[in-house]
Amino acid sequence: MLAFLVKRLAEAVGVMLAVALIAFTIFRFVGDPVELMLNEQASQQQRDELRERLGLNRSVPEQYLAFVANAARGDFGISYRNQQDVFPLIAERFPATFELVIVATVLSLLIGLPLGVYTAVHRKSFLAQALQFLSVLGVSLPSFAVGILLILVFSVTLGWLPAFGRGEVVKLGGWSTGLLTKSGLTALILPAVTLSFFQVTLVMRLVRAEMLEVMRADFIRFARARGLSEPAVQFRHALRNCLMPVITVTGLQIGNLIAFALVTETVFQWPGMGLLFVQAVSFVDIPVMAGYLMVVSAVFVAVNTLVDMTYALVDPRLRVDTVGGGHGR
Amino acid sequence: MSMKRNLLAAVAALSMLAGASAEAKTLKWGAGREIASLDPYSFGETFTLSVLNHVYEGLVRYTGELKIEPALAERWETVSPTVWRFHLRKGVKFHNGNAFTADDVIASLERVTHPTSPLKGNLPAYKSATKVDDFTVDIEVNGPYPLLLNDLTNIYILDKEWMVANDALLPTDSGKGVENYATRNTNGTGPFKIESRRADAQTVFVVNKDWWDKPVHNIDRIEFTPITSSATRVAAMLSGEIDFTNLAPLQDLPRLTASPDVKVLQSNELRTVYMVFNMKDKLVESDVTDKNPFKNKRVRQALYQAIDADAVQKRVMRGLSRTTGSLVAPAIPGYVPDLDKRPPFDLDGAKKLLAEAGYPNGFSFLMNCNNDSLVNEEELCQAVASMWSRAGLKPNLSIAPRAQQTPKRVKGEFDVITFGWATEPMIDTYSLLVQVLHSKSGSAGVFNWGGWGDPRIDELTDKGGVELDPKKRIPMMTEALKIAKDEIIFIPMHQQPMAWAIRSGSVDVMVQSPDNKPRLWLAKVK
C-alpha cells in the first residue's frame, strides 16, 4: 500500500507540473492584464513599468519556472484584481463549491438509483420509456439553460426559492457552511438540482445497463427459485452487484462536477471557486487562473487516488501493484 | 456537545440579526459585478471606486449633477500657479473615532502616488503635499494644472493612525505579491460603514450616524450583492429579491418595464462611441498596398455619410442610445450643441465621394471590434460593416474579447476600430484631447494607437492644459473638438445607453447621474 501511495504521489506531482505548463502556454492567448489593471488616465510609462514589475515581459518558460519555484514554496502570488494572496482567496471559496458538489452527488444517487432500477425492471412500461427519453434530454440540455429555467419557475413565478447566492452561512473554524441555516438550505436547492441534472441521468442509465446484465445472471434465478420476494431480489441481490461501477463513476465524476460547477455557480451567483475563476478570466487575472487550475487538478488527482484505493480495499484481486493510473471501464 | 451549543448560539445570533435588520430601512442592491477590493487604491476601476465612495471620501466630491463641491475640504485657493491650498473640514471623525487632520491627507496622497500604487495614474500632476497646520494642506503640482479638483474627487482619504497601526502605509504591489490590511478592512469618513463582507456573496453597509454632512438619505443598511449573470439579475429584480440594480440589461428592459413593481431608469452615459481610423502610412490588411486611403478626407467623409445613424440607433441600440455628432457628451465641459450636428446619411453621396477619391470599387480593410466592452458592440460593428459594404467597401470583421483585442489595438494592428471614451475620472474634454487625440509624445497620446491627430489640436491641448481660468480654457477645448470634427478625425456614433432599475415599492428616490455612478447618500427608501 505504501509503495502504491508513493507512486501515486509522484504521478500527482507530474500531473500538476503538466497542468501548470499547459496553463502558462494558454495564458499567452488570454490577453493583456495591464490594460485592464490601469484606468484610462495612466501614462504609457506607467503601463510599461507595471508590465515589467509583473514579469510579463519575460518568456513563457521563464514565467513558468518562476511560478513553479514560488508554488513549491506555497506562494501563488497575489490576484491582479483583488490584490489578495491567491491561495486564501481560493481556499475561502472552496467550501461553497465542495458543499454544492457533494449535495449534487448525493441528490444524483438518491434519484438516479431508484430510477435506474425501475427502468431496468419495467423495461416495457410507458413510464420507463418516458424516463429513458427524458434522460436523453437531461444529457443534452446545457446547465445554464436548466438553471435559468428553474429560476424562472421557482423564483420569479412561484417565489419559493432564492434566485441567487448562498444565504446565511455559519463559520466552523476555517470552513463556512450553508447547511445549518434555513436560508442556506433553500439557497442550495436550485443550484444543486441544476448541477445534478446531468449526473442523475448518468447514474440512471448506468444502473439500468448494469441491472439488465445482472438480472440475467444465474444467482438471480436461484434467488427467485428460493422464493424471495421480487424487491428483495432486485435491491439486495441485483443492485448490490451493480454498485461497484456506480461508485467508481460517481467518484470520478466529482472532479468533473467541480469543473461543471463553474457554469452553475455563474448562473446562481454561488460564491465558489468556479465563479472566482470566471471573473478571473474576464480580468486576465493570471495568478488566480493558475491557482484555480492547480487546485482543481489536485482535487482530480486526489479523487482518482481515493477511488483506486477503495478498489484495492474492496477487490483483493487488484492489490497486486500493477494498477495503472487510467480507468478503462 | 459544546460544539453543538456554539452552533445553536450562532444560529440564534443570526436570527436575531435578521430580526433587527428587518426593522432597519434596508436597500438591497444587486450589482452587475463584485468590487475588486475594499482598498480604494488597489484597482483603477470606476465601479469599485464608486462603491467605495460610500465608505471613503475625497477632499471634494461630485454632486448628482456632476458639479464639484466641498467634501473633506471646506474651501481651497491657489497660492501660486502650481500650489493649491486646501482648508480641511474640522470635527470630522473616521469610523473608528479617530479625528481627521492634515496628516491623514498627506499620508493618503503619499500612498496613492507611491511608485507601486495601481492608482498612481489618477493623480498625474501631483508633485508633493505639505502640512501648513492641522487643518491646512498645500498640494504642489508639476506645472499649472486646471483639473486637480476633478482628479481629487476620486482620491479618497484614509486614516494615517489606522494605516500605521496595521502596517498599511504602502499600497499593494502585484509585482512583488505584497497584499495589504486595507484590502479587507476599512476605516473611512463616509456616510456608510462596512459591517461585513463575503466576497462574491454579500457586503453589508450600515449608516454612519456620526457623518459630518447632513444626510439627505434615510437608509440604515445597504446589502450589496453582485449578480454577474444578467438573466439571474433580472429574475432577482422581478422576484423582489433585490430593490435596485445599477446594471439593467438592455435586452431585458421591456420585461422589466412590463412588471408593475419595477421602474426602469434609462438615460445616456458620458461614454461616447466612435469609429476610429488607422492613419499611418499603410493599412494593415487591405487590397490597397501603396498608400492609406483613410488619409484622404473624402474617404473619411464617405465612410461617415454611409452610416445610417438612425437605423443603428433604432435597431442595434433598441432606440436607447443618443445619436451624436460630437466627440464628448453634453454634460462634459467643452461641449457645445453646434458640435452635435451630423452630416446626413447619403449612400449615393458616399459612393460618389469614394469614386472622386479614386476608389470607385471601394477597398478592403480590417475592422477590429470587442465583444465584451461597449454596449452591443458586436451588433454595432456588424451593422456598420454591412452599411459600408453597401457603399462598395469591403470591411473584414475581427471580433474577440477585449483582453485579446486590446494588445493588437495598442500595437496599431487595425484599420478601423470601435472606440469609447467617457473622460473618466476627470469628466472634462481635456481627458479626450490629451489621452486620445494628441499625437504620441511624452505622457500625451497614450491612446493614440492609429497615428491620427492635428498639430492645431496638440497646440490647443497643451495651452489648455496649463490655463487655470475656465473662461479661457473651455473655449480652447471646444475649438480643438471643432477641428477634430471638421477634419473627421473620428466618426462619432452615439452616447451609450445606461439603465438602472428599482422596485417602486421599496425605493423612493434614486439619483442617476450621467457618470453612471450610484450615489446612495442621495437616495431614499420607503
| B266-295 residue pLDDT tens | 999 999 999 999 999 999 999 999 999 999
pLDDT at residue B443, as a whole number: 75
pLDDT at residue A103, as a whole number: 93
CB-CB under 8 Å, A44 with B180: no
Chain A partners within 8 Å of B14 (Cβ)? 168, 170, 181
Chain B partners within 8 Å of A45 (Cβ)? 443
Mean of the per-residue pLDDT values of chain A: 82
C-alpha cell at B340: 452635435
Q: Least CA distance to A81: which residue of chain B?
A: B36
Q: Is the pLDDT of residue B206 over 90?
A: yes
Confidence of residue B420 (pLDDT cuts 50, 70, 90): very high
Confidence of residue A318 (pLDDT cuts 50, 70, 90): low
pLDDT at residue A39, as a whole number: 66
Nearest-angstrom CA–CA distance, B258 and B239: 13
Task: Give how far B175 is from chain A: nearest CA, Å.
Answer: 4
Confidence of residue B389 (pLDDT cuts 50, 70, 90): very high
Chain B partners within 8 Å of A151 (Cβ)? 231-232, 235
Angle between helices A182-215 and A143-151 (to 10 degrees): 130
Which run of H or E residues covers position A209?
A: helix A182-215
Residues 6+ apart with CB under 8 A from B176: A53, B116
Query: Poorest-confidence range of A242-256, B60-74, B99-113, B281-295?
Result: A242-256
Backbone phi and psi for residue B297, each to the nearest 5 degrees, phi listed first: -60, -30
pLDDT at residue B19, as a whole number: 44
Q: Which residues pair with B490 in a beta bridge?
A: B276
Which run of H or E residues covers position A304?
A: helix A286-314
Closest CA to B56 of B75, B37, B74: B37
Q: CB of B14 within 8 Å of any CB in chain A?
A: yes
B229 vs A38, A269, A271: nearest CB: A269
Confidence of residue A316 (pLDDT cuts 50, 70, 90): low
Q: What is the pLDDT of residues A148-164, one digit of tens each?
A: 889 989 988 888 998 88
Closest CA to B345 of B390, B309, B385: B309
CB-CB under 8 Å, A155 with B241: yes
Cβ neighbour number for residue B74 with a 10 Å cutoff: 13
- Three-state SS for A22? helix
Q: Is the pLDDT of residue A327 over 50?
A: no
pLDDT at residue A184, as a whole number: 84
Q: CB of A170 within 8 Å of any CB in chain B?
A: yes
Q: Is the pLDDT of residue B79 over 90?
A: yes
Q: Least CA distance to B171: which residue of chain A?
A: A83
C-alpha cell at A112: 438516479
Mean of the per-residue pLDDT values of chain B: 90
Q: CB of B523 within 8 Å of any CB in chain A?
A: no
CB-CB under 8 Å, A276 with B200: yes
Confidence of residue A219 (pLDDT cuts 50, 70, 90): confident
Task: Give how far A158 is from chain B: nearest CA, Å.
Answer: 9
CB-CB under 8 Å, B118 with A38: yes
Confidence of residue A40 (pLDDT cuts 50, 70, 90): low
Confidence of residue A242 (pLDDT cuts 50, 70, 90): confident
Q: CB of A267 within 8 Å of any CB in chain B?
A: yes
Q: CB of A191 within 8 Å of any CB in chain B?
A: no
Q: Is the pLDDT of residue A266 over 50?
A: yes
Placement of cell 449535495 in the chain? A103
pLDDT at residue A324, as a whole number: 46
CB-CB under 8 Å, B239 with A155: yes
B439 within 8 A of B433, measured Cβ to Cβ: no
Strands (E), B163-261: 192-198, 202-207, 221-226, 244-245
Q: CB of B285 within 8 Å of any CB in chain A?
A: no
Nearest-angstrom CA–CA distance, B443 and B124: 10
CB-CB under 8 Å, B121 with A170: no
CB-CB under 8 Å, B118 with A83: yes
Task: Give how far B185 is from chain A: nearest CA, Å.
Answer: 12
pLDDT at residue B488, as a whole number: 95
CB-CB under 8 Å, B39 with A31: no
Chain B partners within 8 Å of A80 (Cβ)? 174
B444 DSSP assignment: B
Confidence of residue B16 (pLDDT cuts 50, 70, 90): very low
pLDDT at residue B13, as a whole number: 47
Nearest-angstrom CA–CA distance, B459 and B452: 15
Strands (E), B93-243: 126-133, 136-141, 192-198, 202-207, 221-226
Query: Poorest-confidence range of B13-27, B75-89, B169-183, B192-206?
Result: B13-27
- Three-state SS for B291? coil
Amino acid (one-letter) located at B217 = H
Query: Poorest-confidence range of A272-276, B91-95, B183-187, B441-445?
Result: B441-445
Q: Could you give the dihedral angle defined by the CA atoms of residues B467, B473, B478 and B479, in that order, rounded to the nearest 10 degrees?
A: -60
Nearest-angstrom CA–CA distance, A36 and A51: 12
- Three-state SS for B78? strand
Q: Is the pLDDT of residue B500 over 90?
A: yes
C-alpha distances (whole Å) from B212 to each of A319, B111, B189 are 74, 24, 8
Confidence of residue B258 (pLDDT cuts 50, 70, 90): very high
Q: For the whole model, what pTM was predicted? A: 0.84
pLDDT at residue B11, as a whole number: 47
Q: What is the pLDDT of residues A132-151, one digit of tens each?
A: 888 887 778 888 888 888 99
Confidence of residue A323 (pLDDT cuts 50, 70, 90): very low
C-alpha distances (whole Å) from B1 to each of A8, A47, A174, B7, B9 are 39, 57, 19, 10, 13
Closest CA to B31 of B174, B157, B195, B205: B205
Q: CB of A180 within 8 Å of any CB in chain B?
A: yes
Confidence of residue A68 (pLDDT cuts 50, 70, 90): confident
Q: CB of A114 within 8 Å of any CB in chain B?
A: no
- Sort strands B68-70 and B60-62 into parallel, antiparallel or unpaired: antiparallel
Confidence of residue B414 (pLDDT cuts 50, 70, 90): very high
- Sort strands B394-400 and B490-503 into parallel, antiparallel or unpaired: unpaired
Nearest-angstrom CA–CA distance, B279 and B416: 10
Q: Which of residues A257 and B69 earns the better pLDDT score?
A: B69
B403 vs A82, A278, A284: nearest CB: A284
Residues 6+ apart with CB under 8 A from A233: A220, A223, A224
Backbone phi and psi for residue B226, each to the nearest 5 degrees, phi listed first: -75, 135
